[in-house]
Amino acid sequence: MNLLRATIYGDLKVILPRIGQYVHYPDVERLTGLNRVQTIQLLKDLWERGVLERRFHGMAYKCPHDDTTNLRPYVTCPICNSENLEIVPLIEHLGCGHVDMERKFIKGDEYVCPKDGKTLRLIGVDYRRPGVAYYCPECDQLFPEVNVKWMCNYANHVFTLQEAKQETMYDYLLNEDNREDVLRSFKFIEPLAEVFRRHGFDAKTYHNLTGNSGVTHLVDVYAVKLDKNPKVIICSVLSDYNIKPEEVLRLYATSLDTKPTMSILVAIPSLDDQSRVYSETLGLHVIEGETLRVVEEALEKTLHETA
């Protein structure tokens, strides 16, 4: 709810990834209190449900041994493999063609060719700057090209770019086509969670729940009550006319995998006829109502009867 509130009211219009030890979304972690893996799963779930849309941000490269994205170039001398390399500017004496490091031409306040001893005064006439090269102090050699690999800063694994793993990074933002649905979430889901709390439940909204299969399910309301008669209730809140059977089957699949005490399907204003038959056949508890007040009263009654 904190994440959706930030996206819909403009505090977090675009959710951007960051690269550190791993790819992560620090703004979402701060808002939700979830860890890195849970945050990525939450964003994926909200995208799959159409709440968020995502755009390609870039490609991250990871160490093939430990998956970290905290990498640095591993540049070595082509002769002795030393990392002790300097990038040095070059000078070319146009008169004799000698090319060397700039510092070897410096003599006092002048440039003097170390090969023939002539003073170089005018750039473009006496000398030019052809660019830079790599200097290895171990070999005392200059190289136009060096060996380039990558090293992870986690455990110093060395690998080529071709050996690295790739991870696609995405930006996330509110799906404007579903803005009204998100607003209804604020209107209905949080008030219904409060009904559970009034009955002594610890109720969480938009909760990631891992089932026996290892699959993570995003449920609208997850309510737990630990007393002499412990209960776990999952609740799916749908707000549309003629809600289709697919939504019923989604809650049923979650229920089968997570084994709650009760699964409640809240339909505002109603299910279609086929969905209602499905719900009864699959053993889901259905609450329908034209208004939030009607639904709250029905939920209060259900929780009282099952106390």
Residue 213 sits in a domain whose CATH number is: 3.40.1350.10
**In terms of domains, do 194 and 99 share one?**
no
Looking at the structure of the chain, the number of domains it has is 3
**In terms of domains, do 47 and 141 share one?**
no
**If 0-12 CB within 10 Å is exposed, 13-18 middle and 19+ buried, where does residue 116 land?**
exposed
In a domain, 150, yes or no: no
Q: What is the mean pLDDT of residues 42-64?
A: 93
Residue 158 structure tokens: 């060395």
In a domain, 6, yes or no: yes
**In terms of domains, do 40 and 169 share one?**
yes
| pLDDT, position 6 | 84
**Residue 16 near residue 22, CB atoms below 8 Å:** no
| pLDDT, position 220 | 87
**In terms of domains, do 224 and 169 share one?**
no
pLDDT digit string, tens, across residues 106-148: 999 999 999 999 999 999 999 999 999 999 999 999 999 999 9
**In terms of domains, do 105 and 185 share one?**
no
| pLDDT, position 237 | 87
**In terms of domains, do 192 and 306 share one?**
yes
Q: Is the pLDDT of residue 207 over 90?
A: no
In a domain, 250, yes or no: yes
Q: Is the pLDDT of residue 242 over 70?
A: no
**In terms of domains, do 186 and 94 share one?**
no
| pLDDT, position 121 | 94
- C-beta atoms surrounding 174 within 10 Å: 22
- pLDDT bin (cut points 50, 70, 90) of residue 200 is very high
Which of 136, 157, 180 shows the shortest CA–CA distance to 68? 157
**CA distance linking residue 197 with residue 46, whole number of Å:** 25
**In terms of domains, do 183 and 302 share one?**
yes
In a domain, 155, yes or no: no
**In terms of domains, do 302 and 197 share one?**
yes
**In terms of domains, do 132 and 168 share one?**
no
- C-beta atoms surrounding 63 within 10 Å: 23
**If 0-12 CB within 10 Å is exposed, 13-18 middle and 19+ buried, where does residue 244 land?**
middle
**In terms of domains, do 185 and 170 share one?**
no
Q: Whole domain around residue 63: which residue ranges?
A: 1-71+161-174
**In terms of domains, do 41 and 107 share one?**
no
Amino acid occupying residue 166: Q
Instruction: Please tell me what DSSP assigns to residue 177.
Output: G
